[in-house]
Chains A and B, each alone.
Chain A
Amino acid sequence: MGKMKQPLLIKKGAEASLYLADWHGRKVIMKKRLPKKYRLPKLDEQIKTYRTNHEPQLMHEAKRAGVPTPTIFLVDIKGATIIMEFIKGKQVKQLLDEISKSERLYLCLKIGELIGRLHECGIIHGDLTPSNMIQNSEGKIFFVDFGLGEKRKELEARGVDLHLMKRALQSTHFRFAEECFNAVIESYSKVLDAETVKNVLDKIKEIERRGRYVAKRKGEEE
Chain B
Amino acid sequence: MKRKRTFKSYCLGIESTADDFSVGISTFGGEILANVVSAYIPPEGGIHPREAARHHAEVASKVLKEAFKKAGIKPQNLSIIAFSQGPGLGPCLRTGATVARALASYLGIPLVGINHCVAHIEIGKLKTGAKDPVTLYVSGGNTIVSAFDSGRYRVFGETLDIALGNCLDVFAREAGLRQRVGEPFGAVVEKLAEKGKRLISLPYTVKGMDLSFSGLLTSATNLLKKGEYKLEDLCYSLQETVFSMVTEVTERALAHTEKKEVLLTGGVAANKRLQSMIKTIAEEHDAEFCVVPSEFAIDNGAMITWTGILAYTHGVATPIQKSFVKLRWRLEEVEVTWVR
Q: How far is the CA of A210 from the CA of B161 in the complex (A)?
A: 6
Contacts of B158 in A (CB 8 A): 211-212
| A14 lies within 8 A of B255 (CB) | yes
| A14 lies within 8 A of B254 (CB) | yes
| B160 lies within 8 A of A126 (CB) | no
Given contacts A38-B281, A212-B158, A213-B86, contact A168 B208 (CB under 8 A): yes
Q: How far is the CA of A198 from the CA of B61 in the complex (A)?
A: 53
Which of B208, B209, B281 neighbours the largest number of chain A CB atoms within 10 Å of its CB? Answer: B208
B251 within 8 A of A: yes
A129 within 8 A of B: yes
| A148 lies within 8 A of B330 (CB) | no
Contacts of B330 in A (CB 8 A): 213-214
Main secondary structure of the interface of A (DSSP, over half): loop
**B235-259, CB under 8 A of A: which get 1 and which 0?**
0000011001001100110111000
Q: How far is the CA of A218 from the CA of B280 in the complex (A)?
A: 38
B328 within 8 A of A: yes
Q: What is the chain B residue whose CB lies nearest that of A132?
A: B208
| B199 lies within 8 A of A40 (CB) | yes
Question: Which of the four size classes fits the interface of chain B?
Answer: 35 or more
**A148-182, CB under 8 A of B: which get 1 and which 0?**
10000000000010011001101100100000000
B87 within 8 A of A: yes
A194 within 8 A of B: no
Contacts of A213 in B (CB 8 A): 86-87, 327-330
Contacts of A174 in B (CB 8 A): 150, 154
Q: How far is the CA of A135 from the CA of B187 in the complex (A)?
A: 49
Q: How far is the CA of A207 from the CA of B143 in the complex (A)?
A: 16
Nearest chain B CB to A108 CB, angstrom units? 18
A10 within 8 A of B: no
* Cβ contact of B244, chosen from A14, A43, A131, cutoff 8 A: A43
Contacts of B241 in A (CB 8 A): 43
Q: What is the chain A residue whose CB lies nearest that of B236?
A: A40
| B252 lies within 8 A of A212 (CB) | no
Given contacts A210-B161, A211-B158, A212-B142, contact A126 B199 (CB under 8 A): no
Contacts of B328 in A (CB 8 A): 212-215, 217
* Cβ contact of B87, chosen from A38, A47, A212, cutoff 8 A: A212
Contacts of B277 in A (CB 8 A): 38-39
Given contacts A126-B208, A171-B155, contact A37 B280 (CB under 8 A): yes
Interface residues of A in 185-199 (CB under 8 A from B): none
Contacts of B210 in A (CB 8 A): 160, 163-164, 167
Q: How far is the CA of A13 from the CA of B144 in the complex (A)?
A: 20
Contacts of A167 in B (CB 8 A): 155, 208-210
Q: What is the chain B residue whose CB lies nearest that of A214?
A: B328
Q: How far is the CA of A88 from the CA of B146 in the complex (A)?
A: 32
B338 within 8 A of A: no
B residues apposed to A, CB below 8 Å: 86-87, 141-144, 149-150, 154-156, 158-161, 163, 199, 201, 204, 206-210, 240-241, 244, 247-248, 251-252, 254-256, 276-278, 280-281, 284, 327-330, 332
5 pairs from A and B in contact (CB 8 Å cutoff)? A14-B254, A37-B280, A47-B204, A129-B208, A210-B161
The 9 nearest A-B residue pairs measured at CB: A213-B328, A164-B208, A213-B87, A14-B252, A14-B251, A38-B277, A38-B280, A14-B255, A127-B208
Known contacts A15-B252, A164-B207, A168-B208; 8 additional CB pairs below 8 A are A38-B281, A39-B277, A43-B199, A160-B210, A170-B332, A212-B159, A214-B330, A215-B328
